[in-house]
Every structure is written in structure tokens, then in C-alpha cells.
Amino acid sequence: MPLQDLDSGHEFPPESLVISESEAAAYAAAVGDRSAQPSERVPSMAVIAAGLSRFIKQLGLADGTVEVVHASQEASFNRPITPGDILQIRATLKSNAERRGSRFATVEMLFVDDAGEAVAEASSLIVVNAS
């Protein structure tokens, strides 16, 4: 559904997320993370990045028809993520408003493991300009 048609408080369909050892290694290599040990631990920000990408796609903002800019990011981590951990991402559109021709949307994500424990949380403010 287009972002402009969604109300604040909209809950996205949950997404499942599993980051494999090879995916963690690819992420660490791409960002140049020299501290990473991707066989033991997924780089913390990889989880947030993967989640945000999924909801950008759900909103239809990844197809090149609009210009999307990431304005701010909050994140908190409760425990390390191990490659292969099965996570569910529960996301809510916290705010969605148009100002001066741009749309400002905040997506909040909660990452929950298969025991039901929250392992990370994030809030992302994105700005969408029609191109």
C-alpha cells in the first residue's frame, strides 16, 4: 500500500529474518568492519539495516520512482544476534506526515527471537520526495 495512504499507527505484516553466517560475513566485508566475527555474531547494525530494507520495500519505496532519504536512526540492542537466529520483525508506522512537498515517515521495528524475547529495537525517520 502506498505510504501516503497509510495512517500513523499502521502495523505492517510481520517479517521473518534469519541472517546466515555467509550473509553476516558479506555485510561485514561490505561495510569494512574489522571488528566483526561473523561466524559467531552478526554485526549489530546488520539486523537493523536488513529490517529497514524490508519495510522500505513493503512501502513500495525501493523501485526508483521516488527519492528516499534516511534522516535519523535510533537503535538499541538487548543481546548479540548469532548467525541462524530466527527473528520476527514487528513494525509500526509511528508517524506519517507531509510537509512542504515531502513526506516524513517514522518506522519503528521490534526484533523478537523465537523465544519471544525482544533482541533489538529501532526507529527510522525517512523522507520521501516525489522525483
- Give the interface with another protein as residue ranges (CB under 8 A): 23, 26-27, 29-36, 41, 43-46, 48-50, 52-54, 56-57, 61-62, 64, 67-81, 129, 131
Residues 91 and 16 sit within 8 Å (Cβ to Cβ): no
Nearest distance, CB of residue 26 and another protein, angstroms: 4
| Nearest CB to another protein, comparing residues 7 and 17 | 17
For helices 44-58 and 21-31, the axis angle rounded to 10 degrees is: 100
| Nearest CB to another protein, comparing residues 38 and 93 | 38
| Nearest CB to another protein, comparing residues 2 and 7 | 2
Nearest distance, CB of residue 18 and another protein, angstroms: 13
Please tell me the distance from the alpha carbon of residue 128 to that of residue 98, in angstroms, as a whole number: 9
Residues 97 and 125 sit within 8 Å (Cβ to Cβ): no
Nearest distance, CB of residue 2 and another protein, angstroms: 17
Let me know the angle formed at the C-alpha of 111 by 65 and 37, rounded to the nearest 5 degrees.
95
| Nearest CB to another protein, comparing residues 7 and 34 | 34
What grid cell was written down for 72?
Answer: 535519523
